[in-house]
Amino acid sequence: MKKAEEEYSFLKACQRQPTDYTPIWLMRQAGRYLREYRALRKKYSFLEMCKNPELAAEVTLQPINRFKLDAAIIFSDILIPLGPMGVKFEFAKGEGPVFHHPLRDRKEVEKLRMIEPEEDVSFLMKSIQIVRAELENQIPLIGFCGAPFTLASYIIEGGHSKNYILTKGMMYQNRSTWDVLMEKMSEVLIRYLNAQIKAGVQAVQVFDSWVGCLSPQDYKEFVLPYSKKVINGIRKKVPLIHFATSSSTLLGLMKQAGGDVIGVDWRVDIGEAWARLGYDVAIQGNLDPVVLLGPVNLIKKEVKEILHRIGGRRGHIFNLGHGILPNTPVDHVAVLIDMVHEFSSKVRPERR
């Protein structure tokens, strides 16, 4: 059934408007836990799937065809804009992204080029257009990017890191180079998000996956100005979700950086997190993805607990605290979605 955009529960929750139930979507809802995704991965590499508009659209829609989700998120990766900037990387089997020539000095940073998203990542814009046409106004489509800090940490460290020694080393010891890198990254991400919005996404999420490694003071000094610049740089008003992991000490600062919705992981009580943030922003989260590997009665218990802590307040979007794990049972995902819809719809309408 087609809906007018103002009727989408997901978009209404982003704006803290009344909804009939709590909307739900899931990070990595298109992924390896789905057999149809695994079938495609046997034929194509991950980057091939990202860069082929028809394949990316097909993967985006796989979970939508299976589940009663309240939003789709375009299939892509936060690292996609780095390629056109001149950063070479690959996805090594079992290792994740690997950067063979990490950036360590000012000259390397200055060589990074600005991108023109409509030309340099035209495949993503085409994917968005295909998905919007296929959805036929059933549910909204989310676009996304990585946050400046998280992308900077990848290209400095050369991949994942436990302690972010090299990233912090640049922050502390070479502030001018850090600022040039973050300014350049911020401008690229502003262009990248605006291009996605122009192509048709109806909301965006900024992933600051690794910023939880920082102290509040370091976040305030080295990160907040750039995250705020990206968020303020969006030209057309669409809901923006600002998500980070291990961020319980950073919530107030994240709110300062901006976002209509603050996404939290499972390491913080969602009720306490919202009280600390203030109820003038919406909140997203925050089931531990590992719970979906457990029995159905555990999923039911945890869903009820999260909804209880929300207390029927407007502006909650249910999600995991991070992406769906590859070995998650498909039927448990279906149970989760149905439970969220069923339990939340029983909350008194005047409180929703």
Q: Exposed, middle or buried, 264 (CB in 10 Å: 0-12/13-18/19+)?
A: buried
What's the CA gap between 124 and 117, in Å, rounded?
Answer: 9
Q: What is the CA radius of gyration of the chain?
A: 19
What's the CA gap between 154 and 149, in Å, rounded?
Answer: 9
Selection from 81, 193, 191, 72 nearest residue 132 by Cα: 72
What's the CA gap between 75 and 71, in Å, rounded?
Answer: 13
* Catalytic residue check, 175: no
List the catalytic residue out of 41, 104, 106, 314. Answer: 41
List the catalytic residue out of 28, 132, 191, 352. Answer: 28
* Catalytic residue check, 32: yes
Structure tokens at 199: 């192509």
Q: Are 91 and 143 in contact (CB under 8 A)?
A: no
- CA atoms within 13 Å, Cβ hemisphere of 61: 18
List the catalytic residue out of 77, 218, 269, 338. Answer: 77
* Catalytic residue check, 267: no
List the catalytic residue out of 8, 21, 37, 154. Answer: 154
Q: Is 258 left (phi over 0), alpha (psi -120 to 50) or beta?
A: left
What's the CA gap between 343 and 116, in Å, rounded?
Answer: 45
* Catalytic residue check, 35: no
Phi, psi of 341, rounded to the nearest 5 degrees: -65, -45
* Catalytic residue check, 16: no
Mind telling me the catalytic residues? 28, 32, 41, 77, 154
